[in-house]
Structure 1
Amino acid sequence: MDILIMKIGGSIQDKLPESFYKTIAHLQQTKKCYPVIVHGGGPMINDLLKKLDIPTTFINGLRVTTTEVLQVVEMVLSGSINNEIVTQCQIQQLQAIGLSGIDHGLLKVKPVQTTEAIGFVGEVTEVNTAFLMELLENNIIPVISPIGMDEMGQHYNINGDMAASAIAKALGGKLAFISNVPGVMKRKKNELKIYSSLTKGEAEQQIKDEIITDGMIPKVRSAIGSLSIQMKQAVILNGLEPEDIASYLKGNQVGTKFVYKEEAAYV
């Protein structure tokens, strides 16, 4: 049975239809996959920071995280959003447990290395896979907020896409970014076309050409960064069309797949 790591973007989390969670329930109950949910929360974090008059900025799609910003990020991610997703799972009779990357040493991190000051932003160095597998084997869905901790006990904000990528790579699972768009798109002959697949080189070229921009950059880089001989693909799927998840697990073409070695194609 496949392990399916789903990253739910903050821009779509409160827009997901009930059918999304029904689909997850069906996939687990019919033993099509072990679901793992990782979530973001950018819009809600932005709203609370604005209410508290705390400035927030981004560098290459990553939120500059001061001590003040980190406190708000933890409050939103590990509090309200995590609880809401767990609630929606349990409405569908799914056994779900809300976790942050700090719980049980789930996500160990180190500071992201950049040429610019970005504050307490971490990248995952180790995932407690034994703990996650114990939950999955007992039919419990982990719902993970992307907060991690280093060896000194310092907490870090982790980009949700990057956290999901690290978890998928560690578990050897399939990685799906659940978004409010059907994939990576490009205007072609006055029409928006979806790339059915992109390689690492092709995706990086799209970033360079500013076809892929803003918050889609870490999503795409996380997808291609997760690729290896053991993990040959990741995908961006439209969460507003939850049947796409089941279709993807059947091997059908949906969304944009990021592949280890293939040519890009349009739908």
Structure 2
Amino acid sequence: MKTWVIKIGGAVLNTADAAKALFDVLISQQQANFVIVHGGGALVDAWLMDAGFASAKHQGLRISPKEQMPYIVGALAGCANKQLMSQAIASGHKPVGMSLYEAGVVVKQKLKALGQVGQCCDSIDSILPSLIEQGRLPLVSSIGFDEEGLWYNVNADEAAAAIAKELDAELIFMTDVEAVLDANKQPLHQLNTQQIDALILQGVIQGGMEVKVKTSLLAAQHLRRGVYISSWLKPENLVALLQGEHVGTKITP
């Protein structure tokens, strides 16, 4: 049975019943296994603001000083993860929440200037295959650990790509837009390396979408197949993708 890794953004948690609608779709799809990887940027922003910290990003990545990490970890691995668990249970799933470490991914520091921002670098024994075999739904936060036990904030798109590679799974990035858009705000149904490079150079793809598209391209290269960017605002898109239909943007090597 095919496994799909689905990355959802934290914005899902800010939209009434969005996560529940997505989980309702998944419970109806008995022909596939699923792993959910999530971020939670808006929640992190709110927690940091309440604690008196300023949020800053560099090329779409959150700068994560050590003193902010307890709030970032609490928001992502704690509150966001358990909010999703609550919605998954309500839809009839048996979810298991975890960090990247339990999912079999070891990380390391990306750049000193970014603080505790991590990048996926190695694999260890993962509990994901056994959970999938048991019919559980893994919900993986984008908090990771290195070999010394130091914690890191990992871009959730990169985290999802690492897990998809580990499981040799199909990969879908579910965002708040239906597809990557061109300069005229029209959806692009397929993008390859040359097209992506050109659109980034023109400034059409930038910020968080640039990170997402670049990560999608790297994942497509590693998996040697297309990965998808689609919208969680339309959960029915997920059904269409599972059935082999072309919705959203397909990123190919």
TM-score (norm 1): 0.89
Distance apart, 1:33 and its partner CA? 1.3
Change (3 A) 1:17 1:161: closer
Corresponding residue number in structure 2 for 1:174: 170
Q: Is the 8 A contact 1:172 1:231 kept in 2?
A: no
Distance apart, 1:18 and its partner CA? 3.2
Corresponding residue number in structure 2 for 1:150: 146
Q: Is the 8 A contact 1:129 1:171 kept in 2?
A: no
Distance apart, 1:129 and its partner CA? 5.9
Corresponding residue number in structure 1 for 2:97: 98
Q: Is the 8 A contact 2:3 2:34 kept in 1?
A: yes
What SS is found at the alignment partner of 1:133? helix
Corresponding residue number in structure 2 for 1:215: 208
Cα deviation digits, residues 59-115 of structure 1 (max 9, x gap): 11111110122111100001111001111111111111011123x3732111114xx
1:236 counterpart = 2:229: yes
Q: Is the 8 A contact 2:36 2:139 kept in 1?
A: yes
Cα deviation digits, residues 141-167 of structure 1 (max 9, x gap): 110011111111111110011100111
Q: Is the 8 A contact 2:85 2:96 kept in 1?
A: yes
Corresponding residue number in structure 2 for 1:112: 110
1:7 counterpart = 2:3: no
1:172-211 alignment, distance < 5 Å: 172-188=168-184, 192-211=185-204
Change (3 A) 1:80 1:130: closer
Cα deviation digits, residues 111-140 of structure 1 (max 9, x gap): 114xx7111111111244642111111111
Cα deviation digits, residues 145-192 of structure 1 (max 9, x gap): 11111111111110011100111111111111111100101244xxx3
Q: Is the 8 A contact 2:38 2:140 kept in 1?
A: yes
Which of the residues 164, 175, 178 maps onto 2:160?
A: 164
Between 60-69 and 5-14, the greater mean CA deviation after superposition: 5-14
Q: Is the 8 A contact 1:173 1:231 kept in 2?
A: no
What SS is found at the alignment partner of 1:254? coil
Q: Is the 8 A contact 1:123 1:158 kept in 2?
A: yes
Distance 2:126 2:79 in 1: 27
What SS is found at the alignment partner of 1:34? strand
Distance apart, 1:50 and its partner CA? 1.2
Distance 2:238 2:224 in 1: 18
Corresponding residue number in structure 2 for 1:23: 25
Distance 2:44 2:123 in 1: 25
Distance 2:74 2:237 in 1: 32
Q: Which amino acid aligns with 1:106?
A: G
Distance 1:17 1:124 in 2: 26
The percent of aligned pairs where both chains have the same amino acid is 28
Q: Which amino acid aligns with 1:155?
A: W
What SS is found at the alignment partner of 1:215? helix
What SS is found at the alignment partner of 2:221? coil
Change (3 A) 1:223 1:112: same
What SS is found at the alignment partner of 1:228? helix
Change (3 A) 1:129 1:88: farther
Between 139-148 and 18-27, the greater mean CA deviation after superposition: 18-27
Change (3 A) 1:130 1:10: closer
